[in-house]
Amino acid sequence: MNANEHAGITGETGRSITRVELTWIENQVEFWIRFGRDAEETILDRRRRVLGFAPGSVFAFVRWAANEYGTALSRIDIVRAVTPDEPYSTVSFVDPGGEILLHISGWPKVERVLQAIDAVEAIGIDAADAAPDHWRHVHNRLTAGELPRPYSRSRHVAWLMRRRIAP
């Protein structure tokens, strides 16, 4: 893998890949993907791996870390992988970054996001296929201290129809 490929500019197949570095050290550092369809995987060692996501893919990246006093970091980001010509925001451990649909910190709010993801999946919809606006809505409502409205099948059908007619 050359420097440009690792930087997320182009993968071995010639398409843009967004890479996420995951770490798992039990009860210390746990960075994991809650949902999303990875296009590639590179295992770095027994505790670290890198997942690659194709442009347009949506994924949820959960980060948790602890120290001797308890939880030090609890965060979830729902990100859409971008193409090289699209603007993007940086996210730690996501290379080069992506379109941030949701960014929540603090365990109580992270737990509510995980429940919102579970609710989408409970109605038979893959969370990666849900309307990006839903994740923005969840972000805005939780940031304001309000409960988000649940995602519905009718909203999902409307999203699929909108996606067919809009570029």
The Cα–Cα gap between 6 and 15 comes to 13
To which residue do tokens 């059908």 refer? Answer: 157
The three-state DSSP-derived secondary structure of 46-84 is CCEEEEEECCCCEEEEEEEEEECCEEEEEEEEEEECCCC
For residue 5, the SS3 value is helix
Could you tell me which of 131, 16, 113, 17 has the C-alpha nearest to residue 63? 113
Is 17 within 8 Å of 7 (Cβ atoms)? no
**Predicted pLDDT at 166:** 80
For the chain, how are helix, strand and coil distributed in percent, rounded to 5? 30, 40, 35
Determine the Cα angle at 134 with ends 129 and 139, to 5°: 125
pTM score of the predicted model: 0.89
C-alpha R_g of the chain: 16
DSSP label of 13: T
pLDDT in tens, the chain (167 residues): 433 334 444 444 445 899 999 999 999 999 999 999 999 999 999 999 999 999 999 999 999 999 989 889 999 999 999 999 999 999 999 999 999 999 999 999 999 999 999 999 999 999 999 999 999 999 999 999 999 999 999 999 999 999 999 86
Is 111 within 8 Å of 105 (Cβ atoms)? no
